[in-house]
Amino acid sequence: MIAKFSDHLPLYRQESIFGRAGLAIPRSTLAQWVGMTGVQLQPLVDALRDVVLGQQVVHADETPVQMLAPGSKKTHRSYVWAYATSQFSDVAAVVYDFSPSRAGEHARNFLQDWRGTLVCDDFGGYKASFALGETEIGCMAHARRKFFELHATNKSQLAEQALRYIQLLYEIESEVRDVEPGLRRQIRQEKAVPVMDMLHAWMIALRVLVPEGSAISRALDYSLKRWAAMSRYLDDGGVPLIIIGARTRSGHGLLVARTGSSQGRYAAARGRQRS
């Protein structure tokens, strides 16, 4: 299991390695062990999911992975969805849920009747959950990325100005990271609200001046479309400014599990490799 999921050694290679050591272990047997391990771990996965969904604030993000369909010799894009507790929570946990597509039903199936505050990007698959009563918090990091990429590619001065505003917000968040929620909200109201107001006014004024369809117009449109969701953090000290990347968090001693069938876990981990 460690060789397959941590060292990324597909089972056909492990079969050869064991063979060189004089151990004739068929690939089918190795695959059966993987499946049995998945079944044994499922109660842990279910318990971890309950922990994550027991929180009022949950981070969600999805990452594409290439899955090799059995027998087809072709890959197609699948997704691993990460659901994590907030950095302000007393519990640090993240659950990975594999799905064969990016359809919004996969997020709804995982969240089910949970009705908390979801920190996410602008992916349309989450919208149905908001209609059912979840609260949406937009991620400033996703908005920042649009300007960062534009500045990195074209040295855009307009994008650089946006990054300066957003950096001020990041610095305020660094200041309030370890304080209690009530004080965090108070400081945000005093310091972050004026910055957000200036950034918003600057974006609105700039949008009418830049060409339609340009890279800077697309970056502005993303932020302006998401403005209400990205501003909600100002009024709630328990929610963050940005999504803390679950892939980053999983490397810092957190308890991690994948949900779904054994085949789902298996496909998500192997990517383009054969079994």
Domain ranges of the chain: 2-41, 50-137+244-270, 140-235
Share of the chain above pLDDT 70, in %: 89
In order of 136, 143, 145, 154, 226, the CA distances from 218 in angstroms are 22, 11, 12, 15, 12
Q: Which pLDDT tens digit goes with each residue over 52-107?
A: 999 999 999 988 988 877 777 788 899 999 999 999 999 999 999 989 888 889 99
Determine if residue 253 is left, alpha or beta; phi over 0 gives left, psi from -120 to 50 gives alpha, anything else beta.
left
Which pLDDT band holds residue 264 (cuts at 50, 70, 90)?
A: very low
- Among the listed residues 90, 91, 94, 99, the one whose alpha carbon sits nearest the alpha carbon of residue 59: 94
How does strand 93-99 pair with strand 75-85?
antiparallel
The pTM of the whole model exceeds 0.95: no
> What is the rounded distance in angstroms from the CA atom of residue 58 to the CA atom of residue 117?
6
Among 24-28, 61-65, 252-256, the range scoring the smallest mean pLDDT is 252-256
> What is the rounded distance in angstroms from the CA atom of residue 69 to the CA atom of residue 63?
18
pLDDT score at 245: 55
Structural tokens at position 94: 């993240």
Under a CB-based contact definition with an 8 Å cutoff, are residues 246 and 19 in contact? Answer: no
> What is the rounded distance in angstroms from the CA atom of residue 151 to the CA atom of residue 163?
9
What number is the average pLDDT over the span 173-200? Answer: 97
Q: What are phi and psi of 61, to 5 degrees?
A: -155, 150
